[in-house]
């Protein structure tokens, strides 16, 4: 009801539309969001495979697969969004000088995330994790922060790049 009232007032007064995005700049950028989303893609692919391995499926199984696929595709989109924001908002001339392959790496991530949306092949998800890890390592390099790799402590237990914040 309140929404309708505001919408009608807006029509009568013809307010100009404001567009906003986080272009303040807040300077808070972190590739961990993309890393978690890429890991989620692989985990969701694993869960889809578990349902497939059951053999005979019932309606509940098909509904579960539909939910898992939807979440996998959302996670793939989240990877693209997180990487695009860092590449578009944080990376400037100094970062591009440090990382001459930044454009190619970002483009490769976009393409790989799209492959993950189109596929349930775990290998495609693992490739996405590798590319996002490469991007994370490059990002932290531009910040002068060392990184290390370790298996993430939750499924799918894949190698992940972390910033060494103790150094």
In a domain, 153, yes or no: yes
In a domain, 42, yes or no: yes
CB 25 within 8 A of CB 89: yes
The CB-based long-range contact list for 18-25 (8 Å cut-off, 24+ gap) reads: 22/85, 22/89, 23/89, 25/89
In a domain, 134, yes or no: yes
In a domain, 100, yes or no: yes
In a domain, 24, yes or no: no
Number of domains in the chain: 1
For 52-95, how does the pLDDT look when each residue is reduced to its tens digit (9 = 90+)? 999 999 999 999 999 999 999 999 999 999 999 999 999 999 99
In a domain, 156, yes or no: yes
Which residues, 6+ apart, have CB-to-CB distance to 163 below 8 Å?
Answer: 140, 143, 145, 146, 147
The reported pTM is 0.85
In a domain, 14, yes or no: no
Determine the Cα–Cα distance for residues 84 and 76; give it in Å rounded to an integer: 12
Q: Kindly report the CATH number assigned to the domain that includes residue 145.
A: 1.20.120.400
Mean model confidence pLDDT for the chain: 92
In a domain, 17, yes or no: no
């Amino acid at each position: 009801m309140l929404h309708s009232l505001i919408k009608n007032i807006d029509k009568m007064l013809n307010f100009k539309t404001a567009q906003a995005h986080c272009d303040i700049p807040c300077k808070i950028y972190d590739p961990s969001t993309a890393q978690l989303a890429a890991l989620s893609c692989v985990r969701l692919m694993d869960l889809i495979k578990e349902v497939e391995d059951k053999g005979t499926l019932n309606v509940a199984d098909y509904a579960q697969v539909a939910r898992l696929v939807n979440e996998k595709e959302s996670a793939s989109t989240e990877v693209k969004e997180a990487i695009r924001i860092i590449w578009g908002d944080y990376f400037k001339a100094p970062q591009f000088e440090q990382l001459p392959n930044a454009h190619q790496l970002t483009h490769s991530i976009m393409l790989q995330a799209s492959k993950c949306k189109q596929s349930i092949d775990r290998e495609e998800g693992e490739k996405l994790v590798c590319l996002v890890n490469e991007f994370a390592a490059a990002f932290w390099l531009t910040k002068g922060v060392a990184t290390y790799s370790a298996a993430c402590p939750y499924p799918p237990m894949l190698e992940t790049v972390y910033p060494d914040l103790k150094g």
